[in-house]
Chain A
Amino acid sequence: MEIKIKRTPNEEKQSYNVDLENVTLLTLLNHIKTKIDPTLTYSHGCRSGICGSCAVRVNGREELMCTYKPSCGDTVEPIRYARVIRDLVVDSGSIDIFNRAGLAWSEGSREGNVEDEEMERIQTQSDCILCTSCASACPVYAVNPDFIGPFALTRVWRYVSDPRELSSHRKLAAVQTNGIWDCTLCGECVPVCPQNIAPVQDIRMLRTKSGRMGYNDPTMNFGGGLDFGSPIF
Chain B
Amino acid sequence: MAKILIIGSGGAGLVGALSAHEAGSEVIVVSKTLPTRSQTSMAQGGMNAVLGNDDSVEDHIADTLRSSAGLGDEKQIAFMCENASDAVRWCNRLGLPFSRDLSGEIARRRLGGASAPRACYAQDYTGLKLLHTLYDQCLKVGIDFRNERFLLNMIVDEASNRALGATFLNISTGEVEEVRADAVIVATGGYAALYGKHSTNAVGSSGDGIAAAIRAGAALADMEFVQFHPTGLLDSSILIGESARGAGGYLLNGYQERFTNELASRDVVARAIHEEISKSGAVYLDIRHLGEAFINHELPQERKLAQIYEGIDPVYELIPIKPSAHYSMGGIEVDERCMSRVNGLFAVGECANHKTHGANRLGGNSLLEVVVFGRQCGKNAAEFGVKNPTLPLENSQCSKDSNFIHEVMLSLNEIDFYEKQERLATLFYNNVGLVREEMGLTAVLDEVLQMQKELPLMAPKDKSKICNTNLVEFIEFGNKVELAEIIVMSALRRVESRGAHYRVDAPMRKDGLFGAHTITWKEGGVLCTNFME
- Residues of A at the B interface (CB closer than 8 Å) are 22, 24, 33-35, 38-39, 41-53, 67, 69, 85-87, 89, 91-92, 95-96, 99-100, 103-106, 108-109, 111-116, 119, 122-123, 126-130, 155, 159, 162, 164-165
> In whole angstroms, how far apart are the Cα atoms of A53 and B136 in the complex?
18
- Residues of B close to A119: CB separation below 8 A: 97-100
- Residues of B close to A24: CB separation below 8 A: 308-309
Checking A39, A67, A109 against B308 with a beta-carbon cut-off of 8 angstroms, the contacting residue is A67
Tell whether, in the assembled complex, residue A116 and residue B104 are in contact, meaning their CB atoms are under 8 Å apart: yes
Checking B33, B93, B107, B309 against A116 with a beta-carbon cut-off of 8 angstroms, the contacting residue is B107
Query: Could you write out 11 A-B pairs with CB less than 8 Å apart?
Result: A34-B418, A46-B202, A47-B238, A50-B301, A52-B41, A85-B172, A92-B147, A119-B98, A119-B99, A127-B125, A164-B95
Tell whether, in the assembled complex, residue A105 and residue B97 are in contact, meaning their CB atoms are under 8 Å apart: no
Tell whether, in the assembled complex, residue B470 and residue A128 are in contact, meaning their CB atoms are under 8 Å apart: no
> In whole angstroms, how far apart are the Cα atoms of A116 and B122 in the complex?
11
Q: Which residue of A lies closest to B302 (CB)?
A: A48
Tell whether, in the assembled complex, residue A46 and residue B42 are in contact, meaning their CB atoms are under 8 Å apart: yes
- Residues of B close to A45: CB separation below 8 A: 33, 37-38, 202-204
Tell whether, in the assembled complex, residue B139 and residue A105 are in contact, meaning their CB atoms are under 8 Å apart: yes
> In whole angstroms, how far apart are the Cα atoms of A85 and B204 in the complex?
20
> In whole angstroms, how far apart are the Cα atoms of A106 and B92 in the complex?
10
B469 interface residue (CB < 8 Å to A): yes
Q: Interface residue tally of chain B, by bracket? A: 35 or more
Checking B89, B422, B470 against A39 with a beta-carbon cut-off of 8 angstroms, the contacting residue is B470
> In whole angstroms, how far apart are the Cα atoms of A90 and B7 in the complex?
22
Tell whether, in the assembled complex, residue B467 and residue A89 are in contact, meaning their CB atoms are under 8 Å apart: yes
Tell whether, in the assembled complex, residue A86 and residue B467 are in contact, meaning their CB atoms are under 8 Å apart: yes
Question: At the interface with chain A, which of B127-135, B325-333, B398-406?
Answer: B127-135
- Residues of B close to A38: CB separation below 8 A: 418, 460-462, 470
B411 interface residue (CB < 8 Å to A): no
Tell whether, in the assembled complex, residue A122 and residue B97 are in contact, meaning their CB atoms are under 8 Å apart: yes
Which of B42, B97, B236, B422 counts the most chain A CB atoms within 10 A? B97
Extra contacts, 17 of them, besides A38-B460, A39-B470 (Cβ < 8 A), are A34-B418, A38-B470, A41-B467, A41-B469, A43-B33, A47-B236, A47-B238, A48-B238, A53-B33, A96-B145, A105-B140, A106-B137, A113-B104, A116-B99, A128-B132, A159-B136, A165-B95
B116 interface residue (CB < 8 Å to A): no
A48/B42 contact (C-beta < 8 A), A38-B460, A106-B137 known: yes
Checking A39, A122, A126 against B462 with a beta-carbon cut-off of 8 angstroms, the contacting residue is A39
Counting from the closest, the 7 A-B pairs by CB-CB distance are: A113-B104, A106-B95, A105-B136, A116-B100, A86-B467, A34-B418, A105-B140
- Residues of A close to B41: CB separation below 8 A: 46, 50-52, 129
Tell whether, in the assembled complex, residue A96 and residue B139 are in contact, meaning their CB atoms are under 8 Å apart: yes
> In whole angstroms, how far apart are the Cα atoms of A116 and B39 in the complex?
27
Residues of chain B from 445 to 482 with CB closer than 8 A to chain A in the complex: 460-462, 464, 466-470
Cβ proximity bits B231-250 to A, threshold 8 Å, 1 near / 0 not: 00000101100000000000
Q: What's the least CB distance linking B243 to chain A, in Å? A: 15
> In whole angstroms, how far apart are the Cα atoms of A38 and B473 in the complex?
10
- Residues of B close to A105: CB separation below 8 A: 95, 136-137, 139-140
Tell whether, in the assembled complex, residue B238 and residue A104 are in contact, meaning their CB atoms are under 8 Å apart: no
Checking A85, A115, A116, A129 against B128 with a beta-carbon cut-off of 8 angstroms, the contacting residue is A129
Q: Which residue of B lies closest to A115 (CB)?
A: B104
Checking B101, B132, B139, B467 against A126 with a beta-carbon cut-off of 8 angstroms, the contacting residue is B132
> In whole angstroms, how far apart are the Cα atoms of A49 and B301 in the complex?
9
Checking A43, A67, A69, A113 against B103 with a beta-carbon cut-off of 8 angstroms, the contacting residue is A113
Residues of chain B from 53 to 109 with CB closer than 8 A to chain A in the complex: 89, 92-95, 97-105, 107
Q: Which residue of B lies closest to A30 (CB)?
A: B203
B265 interface residue (CB < 8 Å to A): no
Residues of chain B from 12 to 38 with CB closer than 8 A to chain A in the complex: 33-34, 36-38
B123 interface residue (CB < 8 Å to A): yes
Q: What's the least CB distance linking B174 to chain A, in Å? A: 11
> In whole angstroms, how far apart are the Cα atoms of A38 and B463 in the complex?
10
Tell whether, in the assembled complex, residue B461 and residue A39 are in contact, meaning their CB atoms are under 8 Å apart: yes
> In whole angstroms, how far apart are the Cα atoms of A195 and B418 in the complex?
33
Q: What's the least CB distance linking B196 to chain A, in Å? A: 11
> In whole angstroms, how far apart are the Cα atoms of A51 and B98 in the complex?
19
- Residues of A close to B435: CB separation below 8 A: none
B509 interface residue (CB < 8 Å to A): no
> In whole angstroms, how far apart are the Cα atoms of A167 and B38 in the complex?
29
- Residues of A close to B409: CB separation below 8 A: none
Tell whether, in the assembled complex, residue B94 and residue A106 are in contact, meaning their CB atoms are under 8 Å apart: yes
- Residues of A close to B102: CB separation below 8 A: 116
- Residues of B close to A89: CB separation below 8 A: 467, 469
Q: Which residue of B lies closest to A86 (CB)?
A: B467
